[in-house]
Amino acid sequence: MKKLTAVVALFTVLLLAGCSTVSVVSDYDREFDFSKLGAYRWPEKDEGIRKSDVLVNNPLMYKRVQSAVDKRLQARGYRLEKGRKADFIVHAHAGVKKVRSYYPRVGIGFGYRYWPWWGPYGGYTYVSTYEEGSLVLDIISAGDKELAWRGVATGVVRSYRTPEAMQRDIDKAVDKILVNFPPGAGATE
């Protein structure tokens, strides 16, 4: 089971298979004052980290995501704090699910074979199965522990030959997620 978890974990952020195939959405609390944010930290063990999360089960991948987030936030002027002095907490989550796509094929077949799966009009349905991964970044207010902002990247999972290639795609996906943090920042970039 641990081996299966490790394999799934290795392929999780692999959704970051090139940012052109990654879809990103974000949302935020309209009443939250983002101008007061200056320092951030990562969650401690007692702060709601789910044990079933793919990043928790793969600490190397979690470190890659943390590195990408740290680089992007620090480039924007936020500073990483140790301990509980920060203004906000960054939570990173990831997951993988199997997705089925159905493609109807219509047409007339030539040849001598009988295709029993053809429908009444000479067509058939092609079924494709693939894995879709999601990387979620949550910005939590350190004071009241309320969710202030969430960004989600979703894409098709793929495998990597080198850790460097994986890090490049993670960096690109994190950049795409954080382009709209804080709200209104994406309009200037």
Q: Find the CATH number of the domain harbouring 87.
A: 3.30.160.670
Residue 152 reports pLDDT greater than 70? yes
Residue 123 pLDDT > 70 = no
Between strands 124-141 and 23-28, the pairing is unpaired
- pLDDT, one tens digit per residue, over 49-73 is 676 778 878 889 999 999 999 999 9
Instruction: Determine what percent of the chain is predicted with pLDDT higher than 90.
Output: 41
Of 160, 177, 161, 188, nearest to 90 by C-alpha is 177
123 against 33, higher pLDDT: 33
Banded model confidence at residue 120, pLDDT cuts 50, 70, 90: low
| Tens digits of residue pLDDT in 128-138 | 888 888 999 99
Beta bridge partners of 134: 95, 154
The alpha helices in the chain, defined as continuous H runs, are: 2-12, 54-57, 59-75, 163-178
Whole-number Å distance between alpha carbons of 7 and 2: 9
pLDDT of 22 over the 50 cut: yes
Strand (E) positions, 31-172?
A: 39-41, 79-80, 88-105, 124-141, 147-156
Confidence band of 11 (pLDDT split at 50, 70, 90): very low
pLDDT-wise least confident of 8-17, 36-45, 136-145: 8-17
The whole-model pTM stands at 0.74
Residue 24 belongs to domain spanning: 2-187
Q: Which residue has better confidence, 112 or 131?
A: 131
| pLDDT score of 99 | 85
Distance (Å, whole) CA 76 – CA 52: 31
Q: How many domains does the chain have?
A: 1
